[in-house]
Each structure stands twice: as C-alpha cells, then as structure tokens.
Amino acid sequence: MSSKKQQDDGQKIIAANRKAHFDYFIIERLEVGISLVGSELRPCREGKVTLKDSYAEEIGGELWLYDMHIGSNPFSNRLDHEPERKRRLLAHKIEIIKWGNKVRTSGMTIVPLKVYFKDGKVKVELALVKGKAKYDKREALQKKDAKRDIDRELGGRY
C-alpha cells in the first residue's frame, strides 16, 4: 500500500486542506462530484493535487471550483490540461441554490476540505465556512497547546 491515507469506508484521500480548520469556522459540509478531463485523472491517482487557496463559487445555478492545482500528466502530449483551470462541481440543484444564497446573504465562503476517491470516482468535500478573526486563531492555538500538555502529563500514567 502507498503512503496515502486509506479510510475504512473505501475512501482514498488525494489531498486535504488542513489549514481550513485553522482559518475558518466550519458551518456545514457537503460531498460533491467533480468534472475532470481525461489527463487529470492520473495526477489525481498519484496525489499531485493541491487545495491551497482554492474556493468554490455558485454562478448561474452551477458550482465552480477555482485555484485547485492538479499537476501535469507526463503521458499526455498536446492534450494536457491547464493545471489551475476552473472545474465544475456536481451537486443537486437545490443544494447549489441554498449554498449560493447563504454565500450572498451572510458573507460565508465555500472552501474544499479534501479531495478523495470513493468507489472509483473523484469526490470533493466542500464546507460552508465563516472566517476566523486573529484572536479566534490565537484561542484555538492555546486550546490545542493546553490539550497537548494535558495528554503529555496523563500519557505516562494511564
């Protein structure tokens, strides 16, 4: 087995946005499909995907994912894909409209949390998020440090 994480329910994680939990309050999650071209699948299998600074937007009743980097495929010649092109996300129309309204009215953002294979298909876990202020981030770091210290102290005893 490769060094990629394999979850119990048959999911193979391709990429994760670990910084999203630190930068945002996660309000709601949604699993969606993604429309890829043929030359993008091999780099996904090899884990050449980056979610840094990527976001999703609802335009004309469709969800689009921006700034997700998928590396190039060395075996595709002139038909190679553009690494950071916008990609269409596949979700139910009702969910797209609901999330689009929340983004427009309450100042939230749609951010991808992870990209993974599920039953042979590439899926994206999106989150409806609200940005954290600087003091919220400091508070989260203090809680994390306190929890680590407690675990360290109790770890030897139990």
Domain that holds residue 41: 11-132
Residue 101: inside a domain: yes
Residue 35: inside a domain: yes
Rounded CA-CA distance 88/134 in Å is: 32
**CATH classification of the domain holding 116:** 2.40.280.10
Residue 81: inside a domain: yes
Write out pLDDT tens, residues 101-142. 999 998 899 999 999 999 888 999 999 998 888 878 888 889
Q: What is the pTM of this model?
A: 0.75
pLDDT for res 157: 65
Mean pLDDT of 31-55: 86
Does residue 2 register a pLDDT over 80? Answer: no
- The values of phi and psi at residue 130, to 5°, are -125, 135
Residue 48: inside a domain: yes
Rounded CA-CA distance 31/141 in Å is: 28
Residue 71: inside a domain: yes
Write out pLDDT tens, residues 144-155. 899 998 888 887
Return the closest-CA partner of residue 115 out of 82, 68, 74.
68
Please state the domain count of the chain: 1
Residue 53: inside a domain: yes
Residue 114: inside a domain: yes
Write out pLDDT tens, residues 54-99. 999 999 889 999 988 888 877 666 666 676 788 999 999 999 999 9
Residue 141: inside a domain: no
Report the amino acid identity of residue 101.
N
| DSSP codes, 51-75 | -TT-EEEEETTEEEEES-EEPPPTT
